[in-house]
Amino acid sequence: MKAKKEFDDALKGIVDTIGIGKNIERIKHSRSKPELNTITHNMLEKLGSAGRDFVAAYLSGAPITVRFHNDGDGSTGAIGVYNALQKLGERHTVGDRSVRWVMHKGVTYDMDALYSDSIYFSNYTGALKPLVCIIDFGTTLDSNPAIKASVEKCDIVWLDHHPIPEGFAGLGLQDYINPINYSGSADYTGGYLACTFAEVISGMESEDIKEASLISDVSRYADQSNMEAMEYATVLDFLTGLKDYTKYLDGPITPKYLIKLLSDKEKLDSIYRYAKEILSDSIEMGLKYGKKYIREDGVSVNVVDFGKIADKYSGYLLPGRYSSRLQSSIEKDGGNGSITVVTFNNYISIRLSKHMAESIDMLGIIERLKEESEFVESGGGHREACSIKIYSEGKREVLELLLRELHAKGSSR
């Protein structure tokens, strides 16, 4: 016990030299994104505490797994944390540290993921527990079993921005951070949060990467005129959605190789143009072949079968990502508001214009659909962006119930 206390005290002394307190003070005086500063300031104490735990694990040599969601938002967050660790390693000459980077397809930290992490940690013995850092997952109740089972296996730093359902076990984690708990909203994206966390632990700013996270997640705080961030967001969305990315990257989809690509201006521009062209063509297809219902209040409900688009652009576009881009395109045409519903296999993806999200409780609708139909398996998301997983044989029934809830009556056109 005495040896452990001496180790803990020595490690705490080293962590204190990192300068997290100074980094926090500098962030307090930052003017880089004034509209988000209040939310950031509210989280700084918690970010500092989680940062000290993360840095302690890193410096002690405890193995770390960083899991990030497979989209532009999640990958920008991973890039921010990776750059922070690189800077820490150079500054404190800590040598190689065992950090595994995993692009996570899905929004649940399930038992399979925990098992995979446990195998990775299995050969480690040390004073501190291994650590898992989760960036931009959902806050689904399906993560509860793994969260509860992780207690004896590892510590978790969870950085997220999704609405929190009642009973979510992540709230019991010491280092669970979500801007929604600090007077923020889902528009303070997971990538922006993770980059702010990275800034807390290293002092390293990454403004264009942070901006790319906002653009990627269609945040109301995004600066669409920042073309460098727009390129980053588009290319990261493109790469993380591919089934086969090998012709674009020199290695796996990890921050190391993503950063290498983003630094290659010629290659970046080429992929950006290609991805932009595909996106433009696919949106045009959706507008052409989709069904549009006009509600009594003038709001348009646009229903698109993603099947034709997926056939043409197999290997790139994902239905959720496509839904967001299609909704943004429809919103630009103005009108009284819009709702986009995209169906594909056993998923239904829903996007709402911002002012519609204030009057329609989509998460409440999903809960009612679960009660009304045996074909709804699960569902969740944001107020403006959510999805429903269904049993494919019940697709027609669930879609009809959803359209009824959205008051999409009358003939389509």
pLDDT in tens, 288-307: 889 999 888 888 999 999 98
Question: How many residues in the chain?
Answer: 413
Check residue 165 and give its pLDDT. 87
Check residue 105 and give its pLDDT. 87
Q: How distant, in Å, are the alpha carbons of 1, 7, 128, 132 from that of 60?
A: 17, 10, 7, 15
d(CA 138, CA 142): 10
Concatenate the DSSP letters of all residues of 14-25 into one string. HHHTT-HHHHHH
Backbone φ and ψ of 325, nearest 5° = -70, -40
Check pLDDT > 70 for residue 229: yes
Check residue 116 and give its pLDDT. 97
- Residues 167, 168, 173, 178, Cα dihedral to 10°: -120
User: Picking from 11-25, 57-71, 155-169, which range would have the lowest pLDDT averaged per residue?
Assistant: 11-25
Q: For residue range 307-323, what is the model confidence (pLDDT) as tens digits?
A: 888 877 766 677 888 88
Start-end of H helices in 184-318: 190-202, 207-216, 227-241, 255-262, 265-289, 307-312
Report the SS3 class of residue 275. helix
Check pLDDT > 80 for residue 269: yes
Residue pair 370/256 in contact (Cβ under 8 Å)? The answer is no
What percent of the chain is predicted at pLDDT more than 70?
A: 92
Domains in the chain, CATH or no CATH each: 2-263 (3.90.1640), 288-405 (3.10.310)
- The band of 411, judged by pLDDT with boundaries at 50, 70 and 90, is very low
Q: For residue range 357-379, what is the model confidence (pLDDT) as tens digits?
A: 888 888 889 989 999 999 998 88
Check residue 310 and give its pLDDT. 80
Check residue 318 and give its pLDDT. 77
Check residue 18 and give its pLDDT. 72
Residue pair 18/55 in contact (Cβ under 8 Å)? The answer is yes
Mean pLDDT score across all residues of the chain = 88
Check pLDDT > 70 for residue 95: no
Q: How distant, in Å, are the alpha carbons of 105, 153, 374 from that of 398?
A: 25, 40, 9
What percent of the chain is predicted at pLDDT more than 90?
A: 58
Give first-to-last CA distance, the chain, whole Å.
Answer: 74
Check residue 410 and give its pLDDT. 47
Check residue 153 and give its pLDDT. 94
Check pLDDT > 90 for residue 88: no
Q: For residue range 105-130, what is the model confidence (pLDDT) as tens digits?
A: 888 999 999 999 999 999 888 888 99
- The band of 19, judged by pLDDT with boundaries at 50, 70 and 90, is confident
Check pLDDT > 80 for residue 63: yes
| Lookup: tokens for 73 | 């938002």
Check pLDDT > 60 for residue 282: yes
Check residue 145 and give its pLDDT. 96
> Once rounded to an integer, what is the mean pLDDT over residues 3-27?
69
State pTM to two decimals.
0.86
d(CA 54, CA 212): 24
